[in-house]
Amino acid sequence: MAIVFVMQNRQAVAAWLRGRDEGSAPLRVLRRRAADVWHVLAILYLAAMYLVWIMAVEDGFRFILTATLLSALILVATRLAIVALSRGIRRLFALRAELQESFPQLQARTNRYLPILERVGILVIDVIAAFALLEAWGVDSFAWLATPWGHRIASSAIVIAGFAIGAIVVWEGASAAIERYMAHEIQGIDRTSTRARTLLPLFRTSLMVLLITVVALVALSELGVNIAPLLAGAGVVGLAIGFGAQTLVKDIITGVFILMEDQIAVGDVVKVGSHAGLVEGLTLRTIRLRDLAGNVHVVPFSEVSTVENMTKDFSRYVFDVGVAYREDTDQVVEVLRQIGEEMQSDEKFKDLIVEPLEVLGVDRFGDSAVVIKARITTRPIQQWAVGREFNRRMKKKFDELGIEIPFPHRTLYFGELKEGGAPPAHVRLDDRRAPEAEGGGNG
């Protein structure tokens, strides 16, 4: 009759156990499972009570009552432990405002681990609760851990979990340090910071691959897999891949040396072979350049024979100033120095110029001009902006002072007569004054 009563109220109790769709996801899953099997557990409990009564087991009812009370206490303690775990994890990983300001992405990365950590914690609590329930009903479950298999599984799980947690801590610590450095505001263009911004992402990727490999090998070793053949096989496969992909290996090796020697960094303007432009990205295999027209060139490091870096440490703009032969070169040099001093006192350009204009002197005598060479030292990548402004000011100053910037002259040769004289050159002067101007003059 008790079993019939349970079956008659099966649906109503199941609906009450399911309740509303509130609470955490693990709690909702637990409610649904309890609603599905509660009647089976109740029937088993009633059957156990009936067997104890009919077989007159000594102290049987006391045992069942004690086990029932202990089971209820264990379930309540399990629920409280799960709630405390969830709240504790959220409080533990709630970062302070100043810490979030120093590490902007740390909270987002931390939130990724919250569901995983919570689920793992709940699983551990559930396993402990299951063992405790078995103990409450007279099953010596914890004795299994003392067996060789139990000891091996427990120790392996602890070792794997320890290495995994250590790898996560190392990875997150390195990522936080790199993130803080990258987020730090750098005034001007710092060569050290530029190199760091190039190498740190590569270091982070390499660290991730290394940590994953170490944890995977440790896990396989703890699970009883002999990793020595795996390492030997990986070496053979790597050797085969190296022979089959020699260009790829050459790209990587060359890239490592170029990056370590600090030949190129992100933000430099370089010329690599026939390609030139701003370095937008570097990997261990390629360099990505964007030229003045906006075209992107991806050059493998294996094709890099020479590197022309135009913006390392500082930059220079070289002037070849051509003036007419009749001009006084000393006066021209003095004018150039005045223009350089004016630019150094200009608020817009004084921070871009590292050293004053250096006039190297008269460089050569051209076909139509005397060439004076000069140069100005600027911050990296600023030489073109400074050079264009200097050229603009120089043109205006030369026009103001009447200094001629000549264009190529050409001498016409009409040949020579047999008698030794030159043939006549007929030149006609055309008066191209406007007719209205002439009429006004006559008036």
Query: What does the alpha-carbon distance between residue 405 and residue 93 come to, in Å, rounded to a whole number?
Result: 71
**Torsion (CA) 334, 338, 344, 347 in degrees, nearest 10:** -170
Residue range 239-280, pLDDT digits in tens: 666 665 667 767 777 777 777 777 788 888 888 888 889 888
Query: What does the alpha-carbon distance between residue 39 and residue 9 come to, in Å, rounded to a whole number?
Result: 9
Q: The pTM is what?
A: 0.48
Q: Quick one: pLDDT at residue 434? A: 54
- pLDDT-derived band at 394 (thresholds 50, 70, 90) equals very high
Residue range 117-162, pLDDT digits in tens: 778 888 888 888 888 888 877 777 667 666 777 777 778 888 888 8
Query: What does the alpha-carbon distance between residue 66 and residue 73 come to, in Å, rounded to a whole number?
Result: 11
Does residue 442 or residue 315 have the better pLDDT? Answer: 315
The most confident of 250-259, 312-321, 426-435, by mean pLDDT: 312-321
Contact 329, 362 (CB under 8 A): yes
Mean pLDDT calculated for residue range 308-316:
86
Sequential DSSP letters for 49-91: HHHHHHTT-TTHHHHHHHHHHHHHHHHHHHHHHHHHHHHHHHH
Mean pLDDT calculated for residue range 398-420:
77
Q: Quick one: pLDDT at residue 409? A: 63
Percent of the chain with pLDDT over 70: 77
The most confident of 12-21, 74-83, 345-354, by mean pLDDT: 345-354
Does residue 206 or residue 370 have the better pLDDT? Answer: 370
Q: Quick one: pLDDT at residue 187? A: 43
SS3 letters for 398-429?
HHHHCCCCCCCCCCCCCCCCCCCCCCCCCCCC
Q: Quick one: pLDDT at residue 387? A: 92
pLDDT higher than threshold 70 for residue 229: yes
Mean pLDDT calculated for residue range 218-243:
73
Mean pLDDT calculated for residue range 108-123:
76
What b/e string do you get for 221-259 counting C-beta neighbours within 10 Å, with b at 16 or more? Answer: bbeeeeeeeeeeeeeeeeeeeeeeeeeebebbebbeebb
Indicate the average pLDDT of the chain: 78
pLDDT higher than threshold 80 for residue 181: no
Paired strand residues for 315: 378
Does residue 27 or residue 165 have the better pLDDT? Answer: 165
- pLDDT-derived band at 372 (thresholds 50, 70, 90) equals very high
Q: Quick one: pLDDT at residue 15? A: 81
- pLDDT-derived band at 81 (thresholds 50, 70, 90) equals confident
Mean pLDDT calculated for residue range 33-44:
78
Q: Quick one: pLDDT at residue 114? A: 75
Pairing of strands 307-309, 269-272: antiparallel
Mean pLDDT calculated for residue range 302-318:
85
Residue range 185-197, pLDDT digits in tens: 444 444 445 556 6
Q: How far is CA 51 from CA 42, 47, 60, in A?
A: 14, 6, 9
Structure tokens at 16: 């009450």
* CA R_g for the chain: 43
Lowest mean pLDDT, pick from 4-18, 165-179, 194-208, 302-316: 194-208
Query: What does the alpha-carbon distance between residue 306 and residue 248 come to, in Å, rounded to a whole number?
Result: 19
Paired strand residues for 289: 279, 297
Tell me, what DSSP letter sits at residue 103?
A: S
Torsion region of 58: left, alpha or beta (phi above 0 gives left; psi -120 to 50 gives alpha): beta
Q: Quick one: pLDDT at residue 441? A: 47
Instruction: Kindly tell me the burial class for residue 10, based on how many C-beta atoms sit within 10 Å of its own C-beta (0-12, 13-18, 19 or more).
Output: middle
Alpha-helical regions (H) of 245-326? 246-260
Instruction: Kindly tell me the burial class for residue 135, based on how many C-beta atoms sit within 10 Å of its own C-beta (0-12, 13-18, 19 or more).
Output: middle
Does residue 48 or residue 290 have the better pLDDT? Answer: 290
